[in-house]
Amino acid sequence: MRVLFLGDVVGRSGRNAIVEELPRLRERYALDFVVVNGENAAGGFGITEQILIELLDAGADVVTTGNHVFDQRETLVFIERHDRLLRPINFPQGTPGKGAGLFKTKNGADMLVINAQGRVFMADLDDPFRAVEREIEACGLKTGTDAILIDFHAEATSEKEAMGHFVDGRATALIGTHTHVPTADDQILRKGTAYISDAGMCGDFDSVLGMDKEEPLTRFLTKIPSGRFTPSLGEATLCGLAIDVDDATGLARAVAPLRLGGRLSQTEPAFWLAES
């Protein structure tokens, strides 16, 4: 099974890149399942229903989020209508939406997707380790589902690495999001789980984390806000992680970063290109 995860979509630049490139990537790599983190898709803060539908129509099977999920107030309502939009599972009980779902892949397999949020340097939500544990116990790898992908939206790399080892051998992939900067530690952990500390973002890297540079620079230099953060509108780089899944075990056989377009060095998953 071929799975592609695309990191945080930031503003119009990131959205346009997804809409233009994802259909081609699904065909080029013969993808079975695509997950996109869309929590910064609406002007850098949250997601609207229209944008969600655009991402799904472009080829995303599931859209995950993070700490900005409810920045657009309408999300509190429409998230209940869309099973393919997830918010962090460790939000308090009673929060609209859900943090995990079981989905069908293109090749007919079952994929459990879990969205969780870290607590180090972030809002003090419920324990993400216990929340993820409950989901895996209820729907285990090869006992309740064929594969398990976890989007762990967290600030601290230590917390992400700890979560990776916590689920190693029990999940297909643990993918870090939130910092918008792709890390170079993509690997398969000792017991077979694909891991990366941060998949990066789908946005303009001539920026400060996808935002126009002027306002962040002003705040760093003067400590005085002069306006709102607005997404940078230059050419986006699509950043993500490609995972080749062993259908027999549900664990990762190969993993590689994806970076296409924009300013960063370009890379594609060689193990899929060699088979095409």
Q: Does residue 273 lie within any of the structural domains?
A: no
Q: Which residues of the chain have pLDDT under 70?
A: 276
Q: Establish if 241 belongs to a structural domain.
A: yes
Residue 10 maps to a domain? yes
- The answer to whether residue 69 is domain-embedded is yes
> Would 182 be classed as within a structural domain?
yes
pLDDT digits (tens, 9 = 90+) for 41-96: 999 999 999 999 999 999 999 999 999 999 999 999 999 999 999 999 999 999 99
d(CA 159, CA 147): 23
Which of these, 207, 216, 158, 154, lies nearest to 179 by C-alpha position?
A: 154
Assess if residue 272 is contained within a domain: no
How many domains does one find in the chain?
1
In whole angstroms, give the CA distance from residue 195 to residue 192.
9
Percent of the chain with pLDDT over 90: 98
Give residue 274's pLDDT. 72
**In the chain, where do the E strands start and end?**
2-6, 8-9, 33-37, 62-64, 100-104, 110-117, 147-153, 173-177, 187-188, 194-196, 201-202, 238-245, 252-260
| pTM (whole model) above 0.75 | yes
pLDDT in tens, 27-48: 999 999 999 999 999 999 999 9
Which one from 68, 153, 178, 180 is the annotated catalytic residue?
Answer: 68
Region of 178 please: left (phi>0), alpha (psi -120 to 50) or beta.
left
Find, among 249, 261, 120, the residue nearest to 194 by Cα.
Answer: 249
Domain annotation covers residue 271: no
Domain assignment of residue 276, yes or no: no
Structural domain harbouring 255: 2-264
Q: The domain spanning residue 120 has which CATH number? A: 3.60.21.10
How high is the pLDDT of residue 6?
98
pLDDT, residue 273, reads: 86
Active-site residue, 82 included? no
Cα distances (Å, whole numbers) of residue 197 to 185, 213, 246:
7, 25, 22
Give the pLDDT score at 276.
56
